[in-house]
Chains A and B, each alone.
Chain A
Amino acid sequence: MSSEIALPARMEVDPAGEGPVDVVIDVGHVPSCLDHPTHRGATWMANDQAFLLDLPDIGRFLCEDGQRITVCPAPVTSLDDILVFVTGTALGAILYQRKGLLLHASAVVRDGRAFLFCGQSGAGKSTLAAALMRSGCDILADDVCAVEENGDRPPMIHSDGRALRLYADSIDQVGLSDAVGARVRRRLEKFHVAPPMPDNAPESVPLAAVYMLADADTAFPPGIDRLPTLEAAQSLLHHTYRRQLAQAYCGHGMLALRTAALLSRIPVFSLRRPRELARLQETVTQLRSHWDRLGSG
């Protein structure tokens, strides 16, 4: 990436300027609407070349041709306070313009295989990934997983930077106080956390399984169950990152086909776990024994 803005943890631009520039991020004028939008929502519109996100009192973000992001902060808004929208939705739009497929998931690596945890905002994706890291896994992604189809072999999952975004209580629970960085936004109690990372960590890892995070309760006790095909497909579509952007750039039919292709190679499970942070370790233990069974099966 070439950026005139300093990006958060582990998304640094290439300091020596050696590698080819892939995405250019600039601050500049962004129009308030696009010509001939094909898709739109209350805060955004998209046409074949461009995507515009307009967040009142936050800023406008223009993503063009899978290559350029232009950021126009709202008056009295500072750039560092809105970067998270550049590295989130805006970068997501760029990848979709390049025909990528993204899941809203965290990911860890164990024995060279990637395990994904899908969940909506607040479901505990990052906290679970951090807890698994403490038990010996490597972090691959915190919030967004780029899925790359790989012929007849399992799809590859690309890293989103390996930095976590955690609330203070989760940071304490998983013992990562030493790795805490800046706040994600100025008024939020959520922090960038850059845990120690092994040397030569691979940029992409073959996918082994996807888990849909769910809360256990009296009616539905903790457990891991494989989802039937239809439910698995619906869950994957539900957790497609910025689903409406995916539909804008790869079409609803194509999205369904790609989801079906993913499902034909990868099992999808529901992971119901206790909601209390103090019981996080139970989930880690449950997952590790599940992986042992998956490996031998």
Chain B
Amino acid sequence: MAFFPPGLVWLASYPKSGNTWVRVLLANLAAGKAQPADINNLAEPFTLLGRWRFADDLLVEPDLLDEQDIERLRPLQCDFVAGRLTVPFFCKTHDRFTDRSGRPILGMRALGALYMVRDPRDVAVSLHHHASLSLEATIAAMNDPDFRLSSRVQLRSRVGDWAGHVLEWTGQTLVRTKVVRYEDLREDTAGTLGGIVEFLGGRVTEAEIQRAVAHSSLDELQRQEATKGFRESLPGQVRFFRSGRVGEWRDVLTASQVRTIEDRFAPVMARLGYRPEG
């Protein structure tokens, strides 16, 4: 049976960069069942992004706190939780690495972090469908240093612009971090997953990897979403697990939209192997 060392592991990314897919892969790997893990019940503890968990851990409601109070308390919460874990805890986040004053918003006691990145031109297409925003508005959000996500369930998190998000996570040395490219995960899911397990100090067999990959295929995720829905989808969203295609932007974005993205992000894209067209 698959083994992972106890401790907190951040699954960090800009939205729509493969975070949920990696969560499902790891959940299937850890569960090691004959049947695929239920996407609506991934057997994770309540996420540290959640408003309920915040109030449960800290005994104060997040809606009685302003952004500054919350920025002060979140690292305390994360470090306290990380220090007491006796099991592995893979926790999703779209937060930047630091708060507005440059302090690590998620604390420093995590065992490690996987930072998922995806070509920002494909992120734009995916986020446009996910958030039911026009492409223009989506691209503007990806350029907005104050872009924030919030919901009734999750704490408000500062996502900011795409390039800044990538640079903060990949440039910090406080939490051991492995960068995982969405495109690599699509091209060689088993091989990339094997690299993730190695980084996390886990032990799995090749057969366990193959089964987890099959249980987390886009077909399987779409099948489950079609039959039972996905509780993490947004209101009005037709499908969460939509296409996942690499390079879809070539068919969707106009030349001018591509140029807007590349004008802003080209240096960071180049560092990650995403070749600008212009």
Known pairs A41-B80, A42-B76, A42-B79; A122 contacts B59 (CB<8 A) = no
Known contacts A41-B57, A238-B52: A84-B152 contact under CB 8 Å: no
Contact B64 A84 (CB under 8 A): yes
Asked if B249 is an interface residue, CB under 8 A from chain A, the answer is no
* Complex CA–CA separation, A218 to B238 (angstroms): 8
Q: What is the distance, in angstroms, from A47's C-beta to the closest C-beta of chain B?
A: 15
Determine the main DSSP class of B at the interface with A: helix
Given contacts A121-B51, A215-B152, contact A44 B63 (CB under 8 A): no
| Interface check A258, CB cutoff 8 A | no
Q: Is the CB of A43 within 8 A of B51?
A: no
A44–B79 Cα gap in the complex (Å)?
14
Closest Cβ–Cβ distance, residue A87 to chain B (whole Å): 11
Query: Which size bracket describes the interface of B in this complex?
Result: 20 to 34
Contact A188 B152 (CB under 8 A): no
Q: Inside 8 A of B277's CB, which chain A residues have their CB?
A: none
Tell me if A's interface is mostly helix, strand, loop or mixed. loop
7 contacts between A and B (CB under 8 A): A42-B57, A44-B59, A58-B69, A84-B64, A184-B64, A219-B228, A275-B152
Chain A 235-274, CB within 8 Å of chain B: the 1/0 string?
0001000111100000000000000000000000000000
Instruction: Return chain B residues, CB-CB under 8 Å to A184.
Output: 64
B73 within 8 A of partner (CB): yes
Q: How many contacts A-B (CB < 8 Å)?
A: 88
* Given known A41-B80, A244-B56, contact A218–B229 (CB-CB < 8 A): yes
> How many of chain A's residues have a CB under 8 angstroms from any CB in B?
34
**What string of 1s and 0s marks CB contacts (under 8 Å) between B34-57 and chain A?**
000000000000000001100111
Asked if A123 and B60 make an inter-chain contact with CB atoms under 8 angstroms apart, the answer reads no
State how many angstroms separate the Cβ of B235 from the closest Cβ of chain A.
6
Partner-binding segment picked from A14-22, A49-57, A155-163, A169-177: A49-57
Q: Which residue of B lies closest to A46 (CB)?
A: B59
Partner among A43, A121, A185, A220 whose Cβ is within 8 Å of the Cβ of B73: A43
